[in-house]
A and B are shown apart, each in its own frame.
Chain A
Amino acid sequence: MTALIALTIANIRSYLRNRQAVFWTLMFPLIFIFLFGAIFTGGNNSIKVGWVDADRSEASAQLRSAFAQVPIIKLVDLGQSDALEQMRHGDVSGVIVVPAGYARSAAEARQDPSRQANVIVYTDPSQISARGSVMQVTNGVLAQVNLGGRLPAIVATARDLQTQDLNAVSYLTPSILGMALMQLGVFSAIPLVADRENLILKRLNATPLRRWQLVGSNIVMRLLIGIVQTALIIGVGAFVFHVQISGNPLLGAGFALVGALSFLALGYVIASFAKTEDAANGMVSAVQFPLMFLSGTFFPLEQMPNFLQVVARALPLTYLSDALRQTMVNGAALFPLWVCMAVLVGWSVVCFGIAARFFRWQ
């Protein structure tokens, strides 16, 4: 046990002192999230905003014309229920509601500084760019309307509305976690082959250290990195892109663990057949790129041509990512969870079996 712990600590130290390795394993997935997050949440110059006028007064009409003058938003007049429905479907990015009685409360507020008139603004917290724009425009317009009063008479009340479909970043966050766990496992082949090439494995084999201790410490270290990665990815998704993390955290963690193990097993298979570090690099690329692009990481499987969908169904990452989407962000199921678990467990067992048979220590 001491040997296992000492070796794990040695591995972690070596890893942490290799700045490049740390950067790539931890930052690479985040770069993807930021990149795609920016692509999918930015975009259109004019933002469609639903306008619901429940007051139908002169004051509300004035407010509307103030909003209409802002070039980056395009107002769409709608009834309240229609407006929220359209927003759920993504037809409008936000909804501004002028409640009934607005004219009266606005007038009262101008007389009596202790009172305020309200405008309600609905935005989706996961669409950060649109949300930011709508709130900014609203605050700007209201600041102008309020000009002259010592205290703001009219204020915006922000309301969140989660749109129905998984938006792009919510889809991406669990997918990229799956991708990161896949890479963590597959890339483990490279240092392993390097250690064999540099005769480190042989040297260790000349000590009483058991092979299970060596393999065990390697797996423990990778899993620890996996935990850090998972925390970072979920953290960025939740706090930067406001992805609503909901679902079963225990089940999600279980899938992350089994997924990490199954791709570590794949890494060991690669290390079993790669004779040199260069060969290992090539094989890792050959394995990880198809997995990355054909497993529905960046866009849903249904958007791929049929024959690629067949390929995707054969790839383990498809099942890991699907399970993670189901358990982290309530994503729509491609496969039942038990199927995902069975595929990942089966994959781990087969790969570790192959590695146990073919892995060479020297």
Chain B
Amino acid sequence: MSNARAGAETVISVEDLRKWYGEVRAVDGVSFDVGRGEVFGLLGPNGAGKTTTVEMLEGLREPDSGSLQVLGIDVARDPGALKERIGVALQTAQLYPMLTVTEVLELFRSFYRRSLPSEQLIEFLDLGERRNGRTSELSGGQRQRLAVALALVNDPEVVFLDEPTTGLDPAARRALWELVKRLQEQGKTILLTTHYMEEAEVLCDRLAIMDHGRVLEMGTVNELVGRHFQERTVFFSAIPGLSDERLAGLADVTGVKHDEGEVLLYSRDVPATIGALLAATESIGAEPENLGVRRATLEDVFLDLTGRALRD
């Protein structure tokens, strides 16, 4: 497993973190480090333990065991000092629906010893038009930008974003991705959770794939994909009468997977595999539909690790 980027100071350090709720092992021995200026992602399906992990880092939940250090602060020992220096965006539905954007920002500024001017945050998050509008009247994307603005009120060194784009339309999602990149340019360290593979690929310098409270794999996107697949993926709609054994025997195929009515062939030599596939389908009087080729993705990695698809 790779460590934080070489040379970078470690600002988040998680070691053998555990949190059980009765029999449910929400977090079951999680360890990772995040270097200063990194965007680190926890990728996994709902219930994988991502949010529980992040909330323990934010001082909102107490771990059963394990050690947590953020910015050199022992989270368990001094959550108050920690909270001055981190920013948090929860998957919160709504904060103070009756107040305006400016009023909520001013309210949150009052909680911190040091804070940025509201106008600067409004500018940065492109909320100018809505500054005097009630938060209940914001669109989903604006609401999420306000949540990020609130996370930035104290100009934190570390920002936690929990599922920042869940429920957003594609345009709003892209706008938020831009925002995260700008935060990284400012030198902030960002820990985000997501169950969108594409989001993890676009944003994260490194990521940990989580499932059932454990980290299954960790590294950069290229490392993760390269570790699992030297091959490319040939995909097509499943054809009845073409057995997995037959497919596995096709030229240069190293693996066969099924994903929601789609067959995935991992191939060392795409032209050879497709040629063999066409011959095989012709022999049973069929034709592969929706045939295509792609590089392996995080989705494939997750499928390979757990035997099921990440997207729900």
Contacts and interface: CB of A to CB of B under 8 A. Distances in A.
B122 to A, nearest CB: 18
B92 A13 contact: no
Q: In the complex, which of the residues B83, B91, B98 has the most CB atoms of chain A within 10 Å of its own CB atom?
A: B98
A202 B110 contact: no
Contact of B103 (A5, A10, A18, A204): A10
Interface residues of B, number: 28
Interface-centre pick from A10, A13, A199 (highest chain B CB count, 10 A): A10
Contacts of A206: 58-60, 83, 86, 88, 90
Interface string A1-14: 01101110010011
Given A13-B99, A14-B98, A208-B84, A199 B107 contact: no
Contacts of B91: 199
Contacts of B112: 207-208
Nearest to B113: A208
Chain A CB count within 10 A is highest, among B84, B86, B96, B112, for B96
Interface string B103-136: 1101110111100000000000000000000000
A200 B90 CA distance: 10
Nearest to B88: A206
B54 to A, nearest CB: 10
B6 interface: no
A200 B112 CA distance: 17
Given A199-B90, A207-B108, A207-B112, A13 B60 contact: no
Contact of A207 (B83, B93, B97, B104): B83
A357 interface: no
Contacts of B60: 202, 205-206, 362
A270 B47 CA distance: 30
Interface residues of A, number: 22
Contacts of A200: 92, 94-96
Interface in B135-159: 150
A66 to B, nearest CB: 62
A12 to B, nearest CB: 10
B7 interface: no
Contacts of B96: 10, 14, 200
B80 interface: yes
A208 B83 contact: yes
A17 B98 contact: yes
Interface string A203-223: 111111100000000000000
A287 B212 CA distance: 43
Nearest to A207: B111
B25 to A, nearest CB: 20
A2 B108 CA distance: 11
B95 A6 contact: no
B98 to A, nearest CB: 4
B99 A10 contact: yes
A198 interface: yes
A287 to B, nearest CB: 26
Nearest to B91: A199
Given A14-B99, A18-B98, A209 B92 contact: no
B134 to A, nearest CB: 8
Contacts of A207: 83, 88, 108, 111-112
12 contacts: A3-B110, A6-B107, A7-B110, A10-B99, A10-B107, A13-B99, A198-B93, A199-B93, A200-B96, A207-B88, A207-B108, A208-B84
Instruction: Please list the 5 inter-chain residue pairs (A to B) with the smallest Cβ-Cβ separation, ordered nearest first.
Output: A6-B110, A206-B88, A14-B98, A207-B111, A17-B98
Given A14-B99, A206-B90, A208-B83, 16 more contacts: A2-B110, A6-B107, A6-B111, A7-B107, A10-B103, A10-B104, A14-B96, A14-B98, A198-B95, A199-B91, A199-B92, A199-B93, A202-B92, A204-B111, A206-B60, A206-B83
